[in-house]
A and B are shown apart, each in its own frame.
Chain A
Amino acid sequence: MIEIRDLSKKFGSIDALNNISLNIRKGTITYLVGPNASGKSTLIKSILGLVKPTSGLITIDKEVLNGNYLYRAKIGYMPQVANFPENLTVKEILNMIKSLRDGIITYDEELISQFKLEKEFDKRLKNLSGGTKQKVNAVIAFLFCSEILILDEPTAGLDPVSSSILKDKIIGENKKGKTVIFTSHILSELEELAEDVIFLLEGEIRFTGTINNLISSTNKHNLERAIASIMNGN
């Protein structure tokens, strides 16, 4: 579904991504893990066309990315930080995002009722708390029933109830055949959600495979220790 070949990205003299190649299969949940500044966001943003790679190829459904933009209709993206024009209301921002795509009749608005967002609909975005903005952000990512969901630290800033609603939603969408890529620092989320892991360190892939492979390859008894062991360079 998503194929990445020899992807490199330099910011000045810093290698944010260094010769990354990977495949993300359709219908899987992939967990992108790595310490801060390991290139997770750069990788995600390259897939979205927000960051222009220095070299390498990204292919989505056999379509090579080269500055084209219509392919993004297949992607629902939840950025790490949610911010919207501050004087618009929640309702207006949702209507605006909807109006940008033609020809979609059904919207997935399940999360609106689950998050109880209706009562916030007429509030301006500048008056919302960070957590509520993050909920709006999540609603937008799932709104178009996109085939690919890219979630950058989706549960950061959400309370436990909302966080588990979101996790259930991710699992539910995956069961419908959606491909999910997400990043998170909370390792327990990984065991709950993901099948595949991509471990990035300093712009390079240190491990790709299933969670069980990761644990057994490091001879550790749980995931947290397995990851720590890779981070320490073993």
Chain B
Amino acid sequence: MMIKSIFSGFGGQGVLMMGYVFAHGAMSKGYQVTYLPAYGAEVRGGTANCTVAVADEEIASPIASEPDYVVALNTPSLYTFQNRIAAEGTLFLNSSIINIRPTRQGINVVEIPCGEMAEKIGNPRVSNTVMMGAFIKKTGLFSPDIYMKSLEVVMGGKKKSVMEINRVAFMAGYDFLNI
């Protein structure tokens, strides 16, 4: 088993955080993982992205030429990655701010209005965690508990209230998706 995912969005939407926590969760579940962020001369307001590989064998290349999952939090990400997704792969789409729909055929599309859901919960900054709730449910790689534990480790020493609102956000995304 080898699953490669790309998380992409505006700088500041928390895309690197999503990938980091996902990779950490997969590691604590016992999988091999690699996490590779895009680095360097990125521009303010441009896209940030990271690639996470999860496998039950040694991971050779951390790069995903055909990702199984793409999480697009903004429109440029959709344009950039829709044609790279593997056949039968899945695109997670932040339908709160992405108004177009993929032209690419032969993939599953999961629309999550994570921006609006985060507003409703009380903080627009947790929209990435809402998305991850849906992502973890769909991928089924590990349980919400493991994700929340990893989030706690990664955020290290943040206030209890921050963890709590993230838990609510995660479960909202998790329950939003009917599988």
A-B complex is real: no
> B interface vs A, CB < 8 Å?
none
Q: What residues make up the interface of A, taking CB atoms closer than 8 Å to B?
A: none
